[in-house]
Structure 1
Amino acid sequence: MTECKSVKKGKVWLVGAGPSDAGLFTLKGKSVLEQADVVVFDQLVGQGILAMIPRQAKKINVGKISGNHPVPQGEINRILLEEAQAGNRVVRLKGGDPFLFGRGGEELELLCEHGVSFEIIPGITSAISVPAYHGIPVTHRDFCSSVHIITGHTRNAAQADIDYPSLVELKGTLIFLMGVASMPSICKGLMDAGMDPSMPAAVLERGTTARQRRVISDITHLVDEAEKAQVQTPAIIVVGKVCSLAEDFHWAEDRPLGTKKIMVTRPKERSSALTARLQELGAEVLEVPTIETDVILDNTALSEALKNIKNYHWIAFTSPFGVKIFFERLRELRVDIRSLTGLKFAAIGSATQKAIEEIGILVDLVPEIYEGRALGEALSHRVLADEQAAGVKQQILVPRAKIGTDEVVRPLKEAKLNYLDLPVYDTVEAPDHEFRWYDETVDYVAFTSASTVRGFVKLAEGADFSKVQAACIGEQTAQEARKYGMKTYVAPQASIDSLVECILNIQE
């Protein structure tokens, strides 16, 4: 009998990453990216999207910038073919849309020749989205009824062979991609073809990011104005009457955090609430976890505590993650939640309180200050009062991180209370990242614990930490940041809302 062997078939997904803003990345693109074995990416893919690449995926940078193509197109095509033939799920991640001057068609030719499966996932093109982020509608019935997208250069020439007379006759909005270097010849070509020298025009730099800029002028003066502003790539050129609307319609930079780029260092599973609040206020958010939380799998002590849960009077949680692990293990051991009847619950802060109460259990104690020491002190006072009233010693269970601060349990120890300091998860520094995430474009780094600070320092090794503006939850976190010379801002309460308010109040 012949044994049938399964053959691992590879496939390529050609994915448009959009203009840069991670919020403009498509749901399908994100889903495919998160399952990739290999990611081949361009220079123009936004950092926020690069941060979505699975850590275990092989990453191949084939980035090209104007005048510098370190990886020729033919080599890119070969990489895609070889990785797919090796049985991998290959994502070719391209800025904007892969079929709009993105050479997507060229990259498919070799795959077709060899019968490699592929899919196309369109992306939002910068030709539409970048003007929108600057308040420029590419069509408006009072000004024009068509839009035309033109490349500023071609495969074999520094300048594209553009039919300027035809473009002028169309009387529509003209969008020139990859045309900054050709701006003088573009403006001259349009005027030589009969376009009104006072026609509004704009050059839009780094659109959809916190560093986006625009120069609004006319085709006669645009080149000089762009040179004065030292406009650099990536940028697009827009020519048409609609450019005059930017003065009234601009909006992106007007949001409270619309010109700020903020790095969030929380573990991936706990960063969504903070990221959502910052994005709602207009910030460009870069999620780069500097620590990871790992469940302690072979945890005999936790199993024993749960089996004997009736021996305890109080359970004190110091994080939502600890709550999650505790109740998941409770279900795994088939311990009925009704066995918790009569126990009292304490939480270090509002987020932890919410995690407990979502299970259906009301929290009995939350300290006024959301810090470990405050929790320990408040719990000590409450338990001592309970012991005096009942005439019985109380037992306290504290499920928390393996390397949790002693600030929580020190007051319990000083009060000579009976407690079990029970590690249920471990906090470790995130593995080394392959990208340089922190640079001068980051305005603030948000820290929620001392461990996230230490992880960041390792991640950004070699950086000038005196230039880091650190927004910190709690004085203990701020103290850790100050060790490295960071400029610190401390949220008055240890909560996400308070941290966001702290960032809003930072004065330059």
Structure 2
Amino acid sequence: MSGKAYLVGAGPGRADLITVRGLNVLRQADVVLYDRLIAASLLDEAPAHAERIFVGKRPGHHAWRQDGINETLVRLVRNGLQVVRLKGGDPGVFAHVAEEAAALAAAGLPFEIVPGVSSALAVPLCAGIPLTWRGIASAFTVVSGHEVTDHGCSGISWSLLAATPTLVVLMALGRIEQVCAALIAAGRNPDTPAALISRGASHQQRTLRATLGTMAEHQRLAQLPPPAVLVVGDVALLADTLAWYDPAQYPAEPMLWEEI
């Protein structure tokens, strides 16, 4: 039997947000290489014989280097195994899928990318925040919080980011003060509504509502845990009326961000 790699988006938070295709290939895996930001119970969906290898990242600690993950994928597929690379959210959004797919392609090995539900879209919705709002916000932008540091901003145009009707910032928690300050410096009104959603689509989901100018201070006091998604724009006001997600109604299943 020839090997093949499946680069699978597991979705955010709860296990049942994985796609049907993602679940089907996971149930046929010989090996699962998995990240930290997934529901722990998803690993139980792999066959009992399947090897499970943690290759995730925590702030300040990477279990594996990216080139090591690439080499392992290539080696396992060459050995004739069905390999699932399980990633939180969607594999094409800040998830290194391009490097992994490129390594497999360069080796002449078969692979499939299985799209997933991105936290950039699903987590705001679970807080009652659609990213567009007729007549108010007709566009949105997704950016990584890693694009701004204590030493300044990346080459991305922060004036364009500040002007977009809805801005979604992933991985912003550790740099929330810098992100908010950069947007204000680039021209965004500090009174712009904002929402910070922690551990979205899980039994631990919490939402913090503030303005762009006050969000960093509110988070300093609230100390919401990662992972978190920051939404900046008038759509954040909808969280006051459209919030529907009650974490207590969902099973308190273990999440890998708690255990590893």
TM-score, shorter chain, exceeding 0.5: yes
Greater Rg, structure 1 or structure 2? Answer: 1
> Counterpart of 1:120 in 2: which secondary structure?
strand
- Compared CA separation, residues 160 and 119, structure 1 to 2 (3 A): farther
**Equivalent-residue separation in structure 2 for 1:45 and 1:160 (angstroms):** 30
Deviation at residue 166 of structure 1 after TM alignment: 1.2
Shift of 1:147: 0.9
Name structure 1 gaps, 5 residues minimum.
Answer: 1-7, 260-281, 287-436, 442-508
Q: Does 1:84 align with 2:77?
A: yes
In 2 relative to 1, CA 107–216 (structure 1 residues): closer, same or farther, beyond 3 Å? same
Q: Quick one: distance in 1 between partners of 2:255 and 2:17?
A: 22
CA distance, structure 2, for counterparts of residue 68 and residue 175 of structure 1: 25
Shift of 1:142: 3.3
Question: Is residue 213 of structure 2 the alignment partner of residue 205 of structure 1?
Answer: no
* C-alpha distance in 2 between matches for 1:210 and 1:159: 36
Pairing partner for 1:163 from 157, 160, 182? 157
After superposition, give the CA deviation of every residue in 1:348-390 in whole Å (9 maximum; x if it has no partner). Answer: xxxxxxxxxxxxxxxxxxxxxxxxxxxxxxxxxxxxxxxxxxx
Q: 1:35 aligns with which of 7, 28, 36?
A: 28
- Deviation of 1:194 after TM superposition, in Å, equals 1.3
Residue 438 (structure 1) shift: 9.9
Provide the C-alpha distance between the structure 1 equivalents of 2:188 and 2:100, rounded to a whole number of angstroms. 37
Q: Matched residues in 2 for 1:79 and 1:438: separation?
A: 25
Aligned pairs (5 A) from 1:129-208: 129-153=122-146, 161=154, 162-170=156-164, 172-208=165-201
Residue in structure 1 matching 2:250, options 280, 283, 286: 283
Counterparts of 1:303-452 in structure 2, within 5 Å, are none
Deviations 1:13-70 (A, max 9, x none): 0000000212211001000000000000000011232232222100000011222112
Query: For 1:24 and 1:207, how far apart are their aligned partners in 2?
Result: 12
Match of 1:97 in 2: 90
- TM-score computed with the length of structure 1 as normaliser: 0.48
8 Å Cα contact 1:127/1:236 also seen in 2: yes
| Distance in 2 of aligned mates of 1:166 and 1:74 | 33
Q: Which amino acid aligns with 2:87?
A: K
SS in 1 for 2:11: coil
Quick one: which amino acid aligns to residue 217 of structure 1?
A
In the comparison of the two structures, how many residue pairs are matched? 255
1:124 aligned to which of 110, 117, 120: 117
Structure showing greater relative contact order (alpha-carbon pairs closer than 8 Å, 6 or more residues apart): 2
Which amino acid is the alignment partner of residue 142 of structure 2? I
The answer as to whether partners of 1:131 and 1:204 remain within 8 angstroms in 2 is yes
- Tell me, in whole angstroms, the C-alpha distance in 2 between the residues paired with 1:47 and 1:38: 16
* Residue 196 of structure 2 is aligned to residue 229 of structure 1: no
| Aligned structure 1 segments of 4 or more residues deviating by more than 2 angstroms | 156-160
CA separation of 1:438/1:95 partners in 2, compared to 1, >3 Å: closer, same or farther?
Answer: closer
The alpha carbon displacement at 1:285 in A equals 5.9
RMSD: 2.0
